[in-house]
Structure 1
């Protein structure tokens, strides 16, 4: 059967020495519609792998993780499968929405775009650091630990502007206005479907959801406008701006650095960030803008939380499955950690 999958894609009228891709894929491309398969590109080997994964998931379905009548190998494999990839390998759809709801409640206390208040004592920068640490998802900024490029005997925490879901040009150039309108429409549809999944009747929140979608796109555009373009990101010297924690707090006083860093580094102990300058800001002007944003009144915490929840829904779209996964695929969504590197901080 596996051989049949591979052979089904071969075009033996083509000499593989002349065009190996045509030899291996022409027949498959001719006979298969990627839209029907739910994929963005043709690949008989990918289709085969998906079927193999589904067969493994079904074979392990009856295995009890804590039942010693099954071998340790089977039990470990079953536990690993259900912890990590069952949602994307099983042929039987499963509803993981409740898991995301628990995470949203833990992080924020509620969902503003369906009228929920935020939890008491909510700290935006704690949530930001927590999201990044637990989901590898940057929102208003992103960070990574790497060797200090000017003092290689120590490490530094590089803090950078975030990578947005679409290229910066789509947000800032006038010829791409339709891209923003399409994104607003997509976000409105996804947020409404999410509300419909967890509520009996989301219709009463329709206007809130519509406004949230518009606000999110406008916030993303403002982030893009404040971010450095690729041409500026080529200058690595400009992106090395080292601070001690105390000095960083004085430079950008409205950003709650303690909250962000403590949440971000919560599983890594408490590094000494005051004795030596080990916090490297990659784009000073962006953080000047961010400092002004959180100090002002044009964007409130609920608006930013709606933005963060939306990023989380798309980031976990594969886990949620169904229309969420389809929407992410249609939007060509790239998980945050897989987006193109930018400067020394990415």
Structure 2
């Protein structure tokens, strides 16, 4: 599989390279109005930095969370809406402009979508219904996988962990409808209720597909039983963080032995996979379990399972009843969202997902500025220098490992804004008035593009986020950091703010991504992105001991209802948060050494730095989405991200005059790796 690319959040961040030309309001990088003056920074820094913002910014009805990232997301969506609407009205559009305009216009045409019903899905639904024996499933599953439907398992391409220049085929677990395998087994009341609601949801979709109400409940329960068996064979999300546990290269014949009832040779032919001598079978135990399921599960249950997943995957471009039912369970019940997003917002998201680089060309032309990019590059260099200094000063690391760490740091490359080479969509057919067909063809285009990479050299220029994305990420196999244009603006990087605020916000983001190269996952990859242990045994043990401090510390954070953070799942992000802010402060101090920063708005440079960090994470979340994040997401809850880091930093305590014994002072219990 492709290793989890360490983003700043589930959907998240970076700095300002955008020109302010659209008249839309930008939140400042340092917001005095966000501060809760009644709170004490040494008691609860998050409340101090964000309390007034949290009180004044309730979650909109069409969202499950609302924060500084959300504000920027909303602004970007508005920009993209204008681009897509203009493209649809263009008199003599170029090929890409016509595609994005037709795609968006078709998605917005609810009247035609409702009139067509499931017509574009009928050939595939008929293919499922026509299965006569389990052997017929091979062709059906191959077809559904080409349409990006998550059934039974996943197959794609990925960078070889042991040869970072090569792309290999990868077979992985998959096929579940709930967010994560443990949802099928947790024993608390909420988990049991979720399983009950999910089964009821499946039954309602079956009814919409024409199944009699009297039969739907029983058939949905059988599908739920099948998915539960799949979940039992699946690895949990925490175990999958260990690269050594998800890398098992074997011959196709060995995979056939694991799951003999499935015709793998035929499957690979049907998905047009290049010839493979070997592939990575991410979770062999899953495919052993798959063999049992293929033998014991009735064909009728498989038909319902495959049909349900096909329909659910396309809910946005299906008639309103399907769309609403999908929202009712996955957004309203699971995430606490009160109402559907406006149609235009969902169509903007769909266009970005399916034609992201075609949309991105117009987005970059309208918004991206060279001045911001130059300043961003300068900050990256400053942060790299600070991290290098930090590595050299570590008391617990031996010179041999320090040398290897410096080699890796110096090998990190960075990509800012957008790709040097844009994706070619000329083979993707988009038809005005065929929203469902467009979605299916876009999925097949992308899945085919991914599969045809197998056996070819890696493309190190490829991006895995689209230019408008409000996020940033580190890729351990590429050993690079990536900042899409969408994140490069206030509040993360504010040209009107001083260095103290910017280093606390975007500087900490840069430091966060750089530190991912040396977290519990990143440290296992060498400068070229190969899975290789470059640590001495002594240093490896020292790292693990220090990392365990973070595991215990963050597991102690508790949400209402008794849900705790998963210290192992969030270890990489917590390590990057703590190391990133520390390195950003080091870089700021180097800047301050050259030009002393004055007190501003009643705060010293150091205080503004920490406020810059804290205010990045101002956020409101529904209880449902907090619970979901705590159980499935490698990022800690915003309040814990902020307070967890500053309570480990003597520099914070000095900046705000925090005395021993106060909540933001851990003293001897503080944690530090980098």
Q: TM exceeds 0.5?
A: yes
Question: Which residue matches 1:72?
Answer: 93
Aligned-partner Cα distance in 2 for 1:6–1:238 = 44
Call closer, same or farther: CA 1:24–1:46 in 2, change over 3 Å.
farther
Question: Which residue matches 1:171?
Answer: 184
**Equivalent residue in structure 2 for 1:82, among 96, 102, 107:** 102
Call closer, same or farther: CA 1:130–1:97 in 2, change over 3 Å.
farther
Q: How does 1:1-346 map to 2 (within 5 A)?
A: 3=23, 13-14=33-34, 27=56, 29-30=57-58, 34-35=60-61, 38-42=62-66, 43=70, 46-47=73-74, 70-73=91-94, 76-83=96-103, 85-86=104-105, 90=108, 93-96=110-113, 101-109=118-126, 117-118=129-130, 123-135=136-148, 137-151=149-163, 154-162=166-174, 164=176, 165-175=178-188, 176-192=191-207, 194-195=208-209, 202=210, 205-264=212-271, 266=272, 268=273, 270-273=274-277, 278-296=278-296, 299-320=297-318, 322-324=323-325, 326-327=327-328, 328-332=330-334
Q: Give 1:310 deviation, angstroms.
A: 2.0
Q: Give 1:120 deviation, angstroms.
A: 6.6
More RCO (CA 8 Å, sep 6+): 2
Call closer, same or farther: CA 1:120–1:50 in 2, change over 3 Å.
same
Call closer, same or farther: CA 1:332–1:173 in 2, change over 3 Å.
closer
Aligned-partner Cα distance in 2 for 1:125–1:226 = 20
Q: Give 1:118 deviation, angstroms.
A: 1.9
Call closer, same or farther: CA 1:103–1:286 in 2, change over 3 Å.
farther
Aligned-partner Cα distance in 2 for 1:132–1:157 = 14
**Structure 1 unaligned regions, length at least 5:** 64-69, 112-116, 196-201
Q: Give 1:256 deviation, angstroms.
A: 1.5
Tell me the alpha carbon deviations over residues 53-112 of structure 1, each in whole angstroms, 9 at most, x when there is no partner: 55666666666xxxxxx2224x753432323x3455x3x53443677734543334167x
Tell me the alpha carbon deviations over residues 254-273 of structure 1, each in whole angstroms, 9 at most, x when there is no partner: 12212322233x2x5x3143
Equivalent pair of 1:5/1:45 in contact (CA under 8 Å): no
Call closer, same or farther: CA 1:103–1:15 in 2, change over 3 Å.
same
Aligned-partner Cα distance in 2 for 1:242–1:170 = 29
Q: Give 1:185 deviation, angstroms.
A: 1.5
Q: Give 1:225 deviation, angstroms.
A: 1.2
Bigger drift between 318-327 and 183-192 goes to 318-327
Aligned-partner Cα distance in 1 for 2:111–2:50 = 37
Q: Give 1:184 deviation, angstroms.
A: 1.1
Q: Give 1:183 deviation, angstroms.
A: 0.9
Q: Give 1:166 deviation, angstroms.
A: 2.4
Q: Please report the RMSD computed on the Cα atoms of aligned residues, expressed in angstroms.
A: 4.1
SS of structure 2 residue aligned to 1:174: coil
Equivalent pair of 1:216/1:307 in contact (CA under 8 Å): yes
TM-score (norm 1): 0.69
Count of aligned pairs: 299
Aligned-partner Cα distance in 2 for 1:150–1:59 = 47
Aligned-partner Cα distance in 2 for 1:156–1:208 = 44
Tell me the alpha carbon deviations over residues 224-249 of structure 1, each in whole angstroms, 9 at most, x when there is no partner: 11212245435543433332223332
Q: Give 1:24 deviation, angstroms.
A: 6.8
Aligned-partner Cα distance in 2 for 1:305–1:51 = 41
Call closer, same or farther: CA 1:25–1:213 in 2, change over 3 Å.
same
Aligned-partner Cα distance in 2 for 1:231–1:13 = 39
SS of structure 2 residue aligned to 1:166: coil
Q: Give 1:180 deviation, angstroms.
A: 0.7
**Structure 2 unaligned regions, length at least 5:** 1-21, 38-44, 336-352, 354-442, 448-463, 465-520, 522-530, 532-674
Tell me the alpha carbon deviations over residues 134-154 of structure 1, each in whole angstroms, 9 at most, x when there is no partner: 32x331111232233345564
Q: Give 1:287 deviation, angstroms.
A: 1.1
Aligned-partner Cα distance in 1 for 2:159–2:80 = 38
